[in-house]
Amino acid sequence: MSEKEKDKKSQDLTRDTKNAEGKTMTTNQGVKVNDTNNSLKAGERGATLLEDFILREKITHFDHERIPERIVHARGSGAHGYFELYESMDKYTKAPIFTDTSRKTPVFVRFSTVAGSKGSADLARDVRGFAVKFYTEEGIFDLVGNNMPVFFIQDSMKFPDLIHAVKPEPDREIPQAASAHDTFYDFVSLTTETLHNHIWVMSDRAIPRSLRMMEGFGIHTFRLVNVEGKSHFVKFHWKPLLGTHSVTWDEAVKIHGADSDFHRRDLWDAIDAGHFPEWELGLQIIPEEDEHKFEFDILDPTKLIPEEMVPVQRIGKMTLNRNPDNFFAETEQVAFHPGHIVPGIDFSNDPLLQGRLFSYTDTQLSRLGSPNFHELPINRPVNETHNNQRDAHMRMTINKGKTAYFPNSIGGGCPHLAKMAEGGFTPYEERIDGRKTRARSESFNDHYSQPALFYRSLTDWEKDHVADAYTFEIGKCTYDHIKERMLYIINQIDEDLAAKVAEGLGMEIPSKVEGPVNQAIGADADVEKHQPPKKKNYLDKSEALSLTHLKSDSIATRQIGFLVGNGFDGESMGKMKKALEDKGAMVQLLAPHGGTVKCDQGKSHKVDAALLTTESVLFDAIYIPGGTKSLEALNKAPKTAKFINETLKHCKAIALDKEVMGKIENTYLEKFKEDAAVLIDKAPAKFIEQIAAHRNWSRQKEAMSIPV
Ligand code: HDD
């Protein structure tokens, strides 16, 4: 990207980027270095001299390279991009990013998992963070959301408990990046407000195929405020233009081993190849008058507003078009904060949001080490900042003048206050009257209706995955009383679901359990008092909750493995490759060995991966061209049958030239030859259709038993 093409933030970052090409090595003090391999010694065999400032500087800097990882969301991947507005929302807000359609606002986005450490695997069953930093002309606006529309808890007071419960158990620091353990289920089963977010985590939303194929949600109800000072409540949504797709749990486990950077690599490679991921920003707008119209409280972050009740209006598009230059400087040092808002956007009284407003700056103080973290290149706004804050560790700005206080006359009263016309931030003047009380609103006390709605809204295959996930996770717990409590409360969500899980666990669903199961309020052991209230049924089904709702017929960036050996049918392969690549798919030649393979026309083709070095789970679909010799070679290769059988098991599309059938031993191709996504001698267009559909889930029940 040329300097001219760069957006304002990328240009701003350029002043801090360095390129060593063609340059002489120096110390940090600018002294030229002519030996960086040997320390300074008294004689060739030592001892090493303390005066060696080059050695000391190199080692000292190295000793301090690490900073604390994020307390949650430690593992993440970032990208630059921009946001463009389709139509002005000035009826609702005065924030120019949402009113000025001529703007192209730079953004930096960081996706993350929640529970795992910085080096943990990408495919953990977990919520994904979806944090967007908008560098607006009026200052930074951070939308720090997740890929699920609800959160585990209703009040930030419980956040440390939630995180302590899900993180590795403190005595042995096990398990890493996994919620399937006793402490988490002890907490969940005693804190039923978690159940809604929890069932989302049990669904395929928690194991996305790609960070580019998941939705994002601001979760809390925020406010938009227009020039007249009128406020509307709002929920933010990100809708991926590639649709929403997931992998199966069996794949996720295998991807852990095959490529633990699967999501990070996928995001990087797509942007690198010019396939820029895109999301539309959607708003659900709720007039203030409607605040109490719903059967749930819009301030409760464990509730969503079904799209059928308040439609999502798509108002603009975000495109990620540039990979970071340096992971640490950008992705690691970026500091998000839901409290970074601009005039025209404001908070609601959601008690989870209110606590977050404290936590994020506070955590940067220990993570980034100084209140000057806003000066780091990735964090600084694109507009000028002036105030009387001064000094502290690693201050970069050299503030001129004598005055660092307000009011002043010596400095001409500057920096002066923004006049109303200039758009200084004025909080929305919400009237609040209340008793000081440490309490939870009664209106938050429905923990079962929405998890039930979610489950009802899934397709059958999604429901099966949810039941399997509960069975797996609870099955990993060692205490029977925790398992029983879980069965008891799942039964309150959905009896069929609970029956499936109980069968998987080999346990009975208890009709009563010890201890409080319906309140986050405290250790009140009066079980009867805490029986779940009756479920509400304000909607039978919300189609938007199923993964199948957001469709895309694009196969761009899908990874397609071609299984070939020497002597493969070059013409057939060429035709298929062209058809797929024309649609933006990425084709890789996989062969029994690395190096090159020759087709039947004698032409050499570079092998992208030897079968030994890759796995079927890294591909969306496979194709096997004909060619007697090629098929013989594939038949001899130990992993070919595993590759094919796993592709079948994971319900992916397979295309074969006619002569392939019956030539590769130990596969289940024959059994699935009538399957809609097993395409024998069909035109590439059919294959493309099936890849776009992502999976043929109707195969699932039968394919599950393939022993691979
Ligand atoms: Fe949080 C990081 C999302 C509740 C405290 N959070 C963090 C990140 C995301 C979220 C995406 C990573 C940002 C990045 O990439 O750097 N958090 C959420 C959402 C929540 C939520 C969507 C509920 C709706 N968080 C939440 C609560 C608290 C925190 C209730 C504390 C009271 N979150 C933090 C934190 C982190 C953080 C400790 C760790 C690293 C950081 O902030 O910068 O302050």
Instruction: Concatenate the DSSP letters of all residues of 619-674 into one string.
Output: -SEEEE---HHHHHHHHHSTTHHHHHHHHHHTT-EEEE-GGGTTTSTT-STTTTTT
Asked if residue 353 has its Cβ within 6 Å of ligand 1, the reply is: no
Nearest CA to ligand 1 atom 15: 110
Ligand 1 centroid to residue 534 C-alpha, Å:
32
Contact yes or no for 323/277 (Cβ under 8 A): no
Ligand 1 atom closest to residue 111's alpha carbon, by position in its atom list: 15
pLDDT at 521: 43
Per the model's pLDDT, the better-predicted residue between 428 and 6 turns out to be 428
pLDDT at 522: 46
Residue 91: CB atoms within 10 Å: 12
Q: How far apart are CA 158 and CA 302, in angstroms?
A: 13
Across the range 644-661, mean pLDDT stands at 97
Asked if residue 294 has its Cβ within 6 Å of ligand 1, the reply is: no
Asked if residue 76 has its Cβ within 6 Å of ligand 1, the reply is: yes
Residues noted as catalytic: 73, 146
Indicate the top mutation candidate among 336, 352, 366 to test ligand 1's pocket, ranked by most ligand atoms within 8 A of CB. Answer: 336
Residue 698: CB atoms within 10 Å: 14
Ligand 1 centroid to residue 180 C-alpha, Å:
21
The pLDDT > 90 percentage for the chain reads 94
The region of weakest confidence among 4-8, 208-212, 671-675 is 4-8
The encoded tokens of residue 703 equal 């394919």
- Which DSSP letter does residue 208 get? B
Contact yes or no for 706/648 (Cβ under 8 A): yes
Indicate the top mutation candidate among 359, 362, 379 to test ligand 1's pocket, ranked by most ligand atoms within 8 A of CB. Answer: 359
Ligand 1 centroid to residue 195 C-alpha, Å:
19
Name the pLDDT band for 25 (thresholds 50, 70, 90). Answer: very high
Nearest to 177 by CA among 110, 239, 109, 263: 263
Question: For 291-340, how does the pLDDT look when each residue is reduced to its tens digit (9 = 90+)?
Answer: 999 999 999 999 999 999 999 999 999 999 999 999 999 999 999 999 99
pLDDT at 421: 73
The encoded tokens of residue 125 equal 């069953």
Across the range 687-708, mean pLDDT stands at 95
Nearest to 224 by CA among 179, 153, 284: 284
- Cα separations in angstroms, 548 against 129, 243, 245, 246, 703: 21, 8, 8, 10, 20
Ligand 1 atom closest to residue 301's alpha carbon, by position in its atom list: 24
Phi, psi of 345 (to 5 degrees): -125, 145
Name the pLDDT band for 429 (thresholds 50, 70, 90). Answer: very high
Name the pLDDT band for 664 (thresholds 50, 70, 90). Answer: very high
Q: Is the pLDDT of residue 526 over 60?
A: no
pLDDT at 534: 72
Nearest to 322 by CA among 131, 140, 82, 136: 82
Which strands form 678-680's sheet, in the order they lie side by side?
609-610, 586-591, 559-563, 621-624, 653-656, 678-680
Contact yes or no for 648/654 (Cβ under 8 A): yes
The region of weakest confidence among 214-228, 318-332, 448-462, 529-543 is 529-543
Furthest-apart CA pair in the chain: how many Å? 90
Asked if residue 145 has its Cβ within 6 Å of ligand 1, the reply is: yes
What totals of helices (H) and strands (E) does the chain contain, helices first? 17, 18
Cβ neighbours of residue 627 closer than 8 Å, sequence gap 6 or more: 564, 565, 567, 568, 569, 599, 600
pLDDT at 529: 54
At the second CATH level, the architecture of 76-173+207-367 is Beta Barrel (2.40)
Nearest to 231 by CA among 152, 348, 122: 348
Name the pLDDT band for 523 (thresholds 50, 70, 90). Answer: very low
pLDDT at 610: 97
Name the pLDDT band for 193 (thresholds 50, 70, 90). Answer: very high
Residue 635: CB atoms within 10 Å: 16
Cβ neighbours of residue 384 closer than 8 Å, sequence gap 6 or more: none
Q: Is the pLDDT of residue 524 over 90?
A: no
pLDDT at 45: 97
pLDDT at 512: 82
Nearest to 113 by CA among 163, 75, 69: 75
Cβ neighbours of residue 491 closer than 8 Å, sequence gap 6 or more: 498, 509
pLDDT at 515: 62
Asked if residue 129 has its Cβ within 6 Å of ligand 1, the reply is: yes
Indicate the top mutation candidate among 69, 72, 304 to test ligand 1's pocket, ranked by most ligand atoms within 8 A of CB. Answer: 72
Nearest CA to ligand 1 atom 23: 151
- Its CATH class, for the domain covering 553-703, is alpha beta
- Which DSSP letter does residue 69 get? P
Contact yes or no for 591/564 (Cβ under 8 A): yes
Name the pLDDT band for 513 (thresholds 50, 70, 90). Answer: confident
Name the pLDDT band for 423 (thresholds 50, 70, 90). Answer: confident
Contact yes or no for 646/678 (Cβ under 8 A): no
The encoded tokens of residue 612 equal 């030994």
Q: What is the dihedral of CA 87, 91, 95, 96, to 10 degrees?
A: 40
Asked if residue 222 has its Cβ within 6 Å of ligand 1, the reply is: no
Cβ neighbours of residue 138 closer than 8 Å, sequence gap 6 or more: 95, 96, 97, 342, 343, 383, 423
Beta strands in 241-330, from DSSP E residues, in sequence order: 278-287, 313-322
Give DSSP secondary structure letters for 434-488: --------GGG---SHHHHHHHHTS-HHHHHHHHHHHHHHHHT---HHHHHHHHH
Across the range 42-62, mean pLDDT stands at 97
Nearest CA to ligand 1 atom 40: 70
Asked if residue 354 has its Cβ within 6 Å of ligand 1, the reply is: no
Asked if residue 149 has its Cβ within 6 Å of ligand 1, the reply is: no
Ligand 1 atom closest to residue 334's alpha carbon, by position in its atom list: 16
Query: Which helix or strand (DSSP H or E) is residue 490 part of?
Result: helix 480-493
3-state class (DSSP) for residue 292: coil
Per the model's pLDDT, the better-predicted residue between 1 and 14 turns out to be 14
Name the pLDDT band for 527 (thresholds 50, 70, 90). Answer: very low
3-state class (DSSP) for residue 587: strand
Ligand 1 centroid to residue 672 C-alpha, Å:
46
Q: What is the dihedral of CA 289, 293, 299, 301, to 10 degrees?
A: -140
The region of weakest confidence among 274-283, 336-345, 549-558 is 549-558
Contact yes or no for 269/261 (Cβ under 8 A): no
3-state class (DSSP) for residue 562: strand
Name the pLDDT band for 528 (thresholds 50, 70, 90). Answer: low
Asked if residue 117 has its Cβ within 6 Å of ligand 1, the reply is: no
Q: How far apart are CA 14 and CA 8, in angstroms?
A: 10
Q: Is the pLDDT of residue 574 over 90?
A: yes
Q: Is the dihedral of CA 156, 157, 162, 163 positive or negative?
A: positive
Residue spans per domain, the chain? 76-173+207-367, 553-703
Q: Is the pLDDT of residue 199 over 80?
A: yes
Q: How far apart are CA 204 and CA 252, in angstroms?
A: 10
Q: Is the pLDDT of residue 520 over 90?
A: no
Contact yes or no for 105/134 (Cβ under 8 A): yes
Asked if residue 112 has its Cβ within 6 Å of ligand 1, the reply is: yes
The region of weakest confidence among 93-107, 358-372, 439-453, 564-578 is 439-453
